[in-house]
Amino acid sequence: MTIFHISAECFPIAKVGGLGDVVGALPKYQNKLGETSSVIMPFYNNKFTHSHTFKKVFSGRFNLGRTFNFDILTLEDNTLGYDLYLVHIPELLYTDYVYSSNDTERFLGFQIAALDWLVQLKTLPDIVHCHDHHTGLIPFMMSQSYAYHKLRNTPTVITIHNGQYQGWFSHNKIHLIPPFDFSKAGLLDWKHLINPLASAIKCAWKVTTVSPNYMEELKFAANGLEDLLRYESGKCVGILNGIDDKVWDPATDDSLIKNYSVKTANSGKKVNKEWLCKEFNLNPELPLFAFIGRLVGEKGADLLPEIFNNSLYHKNLSIMMLGSGDAVVEQELDRLKNQYPGFYNTYIGYNERLAHILYAAADFLVMPSRVEPCGLNQMYALRYGTVPIVNKVGGLKDTVEDFDNSGFGILHDGATVQEGSFAIHRAINFYNDTDRFKKNRNLIMKIDHSWDSSAQVYINLYNSLIL
């Protein structure tokens, strides 16, 4: 079966968060299962496109208020584990960022160019798998736009990685969508706006979310799409994300200061911790707590300054924070450095290598998220022998069990300062129970969250759609 994933992000080409990790891994695992799974994404102006060479497989032009030329490029030399097709629209997508304020035009152009190429292929795809709102108009265009008539019987799947962002825009831009029977315009609309994510939920053959629990939560909190998701629940299913266990393997990860396996976890983690603590002026004798992520409300980032302040007061732990986002939260988190030198530090920004080292160096990873569609960080933490401390929400609820309830992590019930601070207090007690803590470390490293099983679940889902 030929599957095309269409996405704004794909690791290692361009990644902002978990979407990139998923699209960079899932096709690889689907190919391992004998399918032909490829990725279509924008050609950005970034390190990856500068350091690789490409060949052109198609050229075209489309109208989006005016004419835009585009090329479809593929790698000369590909070791990714899946075919990669990059949509090069110099005037829209060749930017050094992934997202910006004119994303309506940028991603509309991306979707139109991708379909203009797909529709003329000698062998049409068996499945078109869209990811998030940036590709949400594809199911509509494939089923309604005259230009893509040949693709109308090709099944489409939309995966919701984050339902809060929907990409809505005004109806006065409806003329930018390739011509279709206007009586079908309702399929684009939600609450008097063109809403790409809502349209995808209406038009795709299947809707998936990145964890089963998130699917249920969206029926009650989906930034306005609750009713729609309840109405369409017959075609909705939650499939837990996996992790790329080749990229995220402490035994081979070349970002680490020292590699380690389950057997050598204690000594291996110690070397990484000592390096990190030296680099960031922290005490390596104390349990090390980490936060890695976007500093936004969904991640509970606004709670962190107070949670950290409460915990650091006792000076019995070290904390390292890696992230960027809300400017006020960034400032508050940075300010704590003056209060607790030697116990607390931050790296404000995005740093892929530091994230890998931090998963390896830390004893605990804190995730007081309010919303977590799946969450990959807790799964990376487990694989690196780091205990996740998580709020019981979304995919975190599906993947972490509390150590006091014959589990292996720390769960708290509610994204509040009190719950978060108390969870850290429990973690320190757990850490001080040395034998139990070390046994737990070995246990969590063996939990299999690789894509092997979920990739098969997606294949089964596609098979159910092929007539």
Q: Is 377 in the site for ligand ADP (CB under 6 A)?
A: yes
* CB environment 326-356: b (16+ within 10 A), e (fewer): beebbebbeebeeebeebbbbbbeeeeebbb
Q: Which stretch binds ligand ADP (CB under 6 A): 39-47, 252-260, 261-269, 349-357?
A: 349-357
- One of 5, 7, 14, 21 touching ligand ADP (CB under 6 A): 21
Length of the chain: 467
Distance CA 64, CA 70 (A): 12
Q: Which stretch binds ligand ADP (CB under 6 A): 92-100, 271-279, 373-381, 454-462?
A: 373-381
Q: Is 350 in the site for ligand ADP (CB under 6 A)?
A: yes
Site for ligand ADP in 277-296 (CB under 6 A): 292-294
- One of 4, 8, 10, 18 touching ligand ADP (CB under 6 A): 18
- One of 233, 259, 351, 416 touching ligand ADP (CB under 6 A): 351
Helices (H), 341-433: 352-361, 377-383, 394-399, 417-432
The verdict on whether omega for the bond into residue 12 sits within 30 degrees of 0, i.e. cis, is yes
Q: Is 425 in the site for ligand ADP (CB under 6 A)?
A: no
Residues 6+ apart with CB under 8 A from 51: none
Smallest distance, Å, CB 73 to ligand ADP?
26
| Closest residue to ligand ADP in the complex (CB) | 18
User: How far from chain centre, in Å, is Cα 402?
Assistant: 24
Q: Which stretch binds ligand ADP (CB under 6 A): 151-159, 333-341, 351-359, 385-393?
A: 351-359
Q: Using CB under 6 A as the criterion, what x/- string covers residues 112-151 for binding ligand ADP?
A: ----------------------------------------
Helix (H, G, I), strand (E, B), or coil: what is residue 441? helix
- Residue closer to ligand ADP (CB basis): 111 or 386: 386
Please spell the DSSP secondary structure of 186-202, one letter per residue: GGGEETTEE-HHHHHHH
Euclidean distance between the first and final Cα of the chain, in Å? 12
- Beta bridge pairs of residue 127: 3
Q: Is 352 in the site for ligand ADP (CB under 6 A)?
A: yes
- One of 13, 355, 360, 459 touching ligand ADP (CB under 6 A): 355
- Residue closer to ligand ADP (CB basis): 17 or 284: 17
Q: Is 26 in the site for ligand ADP (CB under 6 A)?
A: no
Smallest distance, Å, CB 356 to ligand ADP?
8
Distance CA 275, CA 168 (A): 46
Q: Is 246 in the site for ligand ADP (CB under 6 A)?
A: no
Residue keyed to tokens 């050609």: 43
Q: Is 376 in the site for ligand ADP (CB under 6 A)?
A: yes
Helix (H, G, I), strand (E, B), or coil: what is residue 162? coil
Strand boundaries in 107-169, DSSP class E: 127-131, 156-160
Distance CA 175, CA 171 (A): 9
Consult the annotation and say whether 15 binds a ligand.
yes
The phi and psi torsions of 390 (rounded to 5 degrees) equal -130, 150
- Residue closer to ligand ADP (CB basis): 173 or 392: 392
- Residue closer to ligand ADP (CB basis): 115 or 210: 210
- Beta bridge pairs of residue 82: none
Q: Using CB under 6 A as the criterion, what x/- string covers residues 75-114 for binding ligand ADP?
A: ----------------------------------------
Task: Count residues binding ligand ADP (CB under 6 A).
Answer: 18
- Residue closer to ligand ADP (CB basis): 6 or 358: 358
HSE-CB at 462 with a 13 A cutoff on CA atoms is 24
Distance CA 172, CA 434 (A): 63
Distance CA 225, CA 402 (A): 32
- Residue closer to ligand ADP (CB basis): 131 or 202: 131
Smallest distance, Å, CB 418 to ligand ADP?
24
Site for ligand ADP in 294-323 (CB under 6 A): 294, 322-323
Please spell the DSSP secondary structure of 265-321, one letter per residue: HHHHHHHHHHHHHHHTT--TTSPEEEEEEEESGGGTGGGHHHHHHHHHTT---EEEE
Smallest distance, Å, CB 296 to ligand ADP?
8
For residue 21 the two structure tokens come to: 């990790």
Binding residues are 15
What residue ranges bind ligand ADP (CB under 6 A)?
17-19, 21, 292-294, 322-324, 350-352, 355, 374-377
Binding residues for ADP-alpha-D-glucose are 15
